[in-house]
Amino acid sequence: PQDISLIDARRAIQMFEKVNVPILGLVENMSYFLCPHCGEKTEIFSSGGGEKTSQKYNVPLIGKIPIDTEIRVGGDAGKPIIILNPKSHQSAEFMTIAGAVASMISILDYK
């Protein structure tokens, strides 16, 4: 991710830690480009920032969302990628994130 995005993420982590809000994990948006023709992953922006931030703050990196026109087009139309193309790699990424969040929420103790 770009440095400015990581700065915002780090500030958010620090803010939530100060007010004792559980941080379930990090999601790296626009993490890579997946070629629709050959399936090759290309990291357009700098890489490794999500992992480093995850390790530094002891917050799991629960997913990496690719740069994808189908995600953008569906989002603009109000149709998530998991509805438009449920068997796609992009949908699988979102489902992995959703599963991780659901697992973590199920064990949180809010008293």
**Contacts of residue 2, Cβ cutoff 8 Å, sequence gap at least 6:** 45, 46
| Per-residue pLDDT at 66 exceeds 90 | yes
Q: Which domains are delineated in the chain?
A: 3-107 (3.40.50.300)
* 63 neighbors 91 (Cβ within 8 angstroms): no
Identify the residue whose tokens are 């626009």. 30
Question: What is the value of pTM for the model shown?
Answer: 0.83
Tell me the backbone φ, ψ of residue 32, rounded to 5 degrees: -160, 170
Helix (H, G, I), strand (E, B), or coil: what is residue 107?
Answer: helix
Q: What is the pLDDT of residue 109?
A: 75
CA–CA distance, 60 with 107 (Å, rounded to integer): 15
Of the pLDDT bands very low, low, confident and very high (cuts 50, 70, 90), residue 72 is very high
- pLDDT confidence tier of residue 111, bands split at 50, 70 and 90: low
pLDDT at 1 over 80: no
